[in-house]
Structure 1
């Protein structure tokens, strides 16, 4: 709660700061401001969006060379396009940045991160439908995190197969074992009861997959995968499938015909319960993870950009704010590492809670049941 309150305070303070100084910046030499905007110079909003959005390259930084031109240090990714009119095309994203291409290659061009078809004159051709199947940085980074995750877990598993439980864990095994034990004792058993072993593989997979993608995303230049709504939506849909397949007749009986409730009230409760099960629960999983992950990256980026915002107003102020900005950025960076563990735990715990609710009430049929779930 303390970290959350601190983050809210920092966001509020930053917002007030920008509002107060935005009038000063706009009132001072408005002609130069318009000129700067036209020339596409420093634009904080654009930089923030580029940082949190998906892209076709891993961009690290740009610099102006001795020739006076802007040079980018980046890793271009494969572009894979399919068009019913033009067929399949595959090439490197770097083709759009060739000096002689003018941003157009093989009949396509990049418009603000979106690849569209163009005609012979270089104008957008709306008649050509383009399906972008490219390996964007979010996709590539998920594969990297997945390979890293599989390697670490297989390494730990091989030590267990070799030494068993009679030898004290060391190295990676010593790092993974407390986490697995924690998820089992604090998530699986309390929410799923005697059935926890059946769901532990999925719960552990979700926890580590979210954690590894978040931690890799904290490396400068990488993508904010867990801050992508498509990523969290897929995880939420998978959890919904697991929840639905864990239900029983007793659960659906309470959904479609709540017992002990007057018929007029039942007509109101039934749609609410259906929407709650199929929409609200997975929606809560999706939005919670997405909002927390993207908020942290935006706040960190904003504190870094404050150096350039103040520097644009006064160079001395910009240089003087560097220690403050760096200190806050490092502080928030460590908080984001903690948030990575917390959000992976919350997503996993809520999934276990919803699964436990799906088969609750089985004791009426003479079966074992999970302990009463507690939502935190």
Structure 2
């Protein structure tokens, strides 16, 4: 009977919020749209304020911004692209910052929804990266970029057609989809997990004398909230580092040689 009143919200209520403006249209503005706007504005204001500070010794916001940029440079750009990737550092910092801020709204009261638990933003980001690494590949290698993918060197002649088809499908079709789904699925899974434990806590808390059963569940919910903060960071890091891997591979003239190994890197915490 304890769980008799347990009512899990419909799945649409978990990931789809009612529109505030332009209701029931493709341009409807709701909580998720607000999260996307804030995920753009907050990093922009943060780095703008950091850029306005003068002096040789960084302090305050500037010091925090340099920590973020230094982290992305040393842990993402240099390992995947080397020093030649310097022109792409702003892109990597932007992706990392936007994704992290959008994800962290999962644990912010009144929002409690990770923006990337909707497929829209991850797909747009993945397609943007897809366009960038193709353009970079053509810029650095000309049309040979496509030839190396479709007819990969170093492969036995009998296997070239089969491997070429696999490489083309992987690089130009599967890669953007997997790049987006990796972020979307992990954030959605974490969101549903937190919603489940939240509903369970509320239901047990109103179960009269047996509310003591809710204590372990409450502490597990607190632990999961902390865990989700780590996941928000991890997913931003994974998306950014895969972006570096893809662009770095295009700069060197191959489409899937290195990224194939990174595609199976730890992509999720769920």
1:17-36 deviation line (CA, Å, top 9, x unaligned)? xxxx9xx96xxxxxxx7xxx
C-alpha contact (below 8 Å) 1:145/1:216 kept by paired residues: no
**Rg bigger for which structure?**
1
1:55: which partner in 2? 17
1:188 to 60, 74, 77: 77
Query: How many residue pairs end up in the alignment?
Result: 254
Q: SS at 2:110's partner residue?
A: coil
1:171 and 1:264 map into 2 onto residues whose CA distance is 61
2:191 and 2:114 map into 1 onto residues whose CA distance is 8
1:305 and 1:177 map into 2 onto residues whose CA distance is 40
1:224: which partner in 2? 114
2:74 and 2:39 map into 1 onto residues whose CA distance is 26
Q: SS at 2:152's partner residue?
A: coil
**Superposed counterparts of 1:337-376, under 5 Å:** 337-361=229-253, 375=262, 376=265
Q: SS at 2:22's partner residue?
A: strand
1:279: which partner in 2? 173
2:152 to 258, 269, 272: 258
1:132: which partner in 2? 26
C-alpha contact (below 8 Å) 2:205/2:214 kept by paired residues: no
Flag structure 2 segments of 5+ consecutive residues without an equivalent: 266-270
Residue 54 of structure 1, CA deviation: 2.4
1:321 to 213, 217, 221: 213
1:79: which partner in 2? 22
Give the helix-richer structure, 1 or 2. Answer: 2
Give the strand-richer structure, 1 or 2. Answer: 1
Residue 216 of structure 1, CA deviation: 2.5
Greater RCO, 1 or 2 (C-alpha within 8 Å, sep 6+) = 2
TM-score, scaled to structure 1: 0.62
2:82 and 2:154 map into 1 onto residues whose CA distance is 27
Are 2:128 and 1:238 equivalent residues in the alignment? yes
1:181 and 1:294 map into 2 onto residues whose CA distance is 29
C-alpha contact (below 8 Å) 1:307/1:321 kept by paired residues: no
1:340 and 1:200 map into 2 onto residues whose CA distance is 21
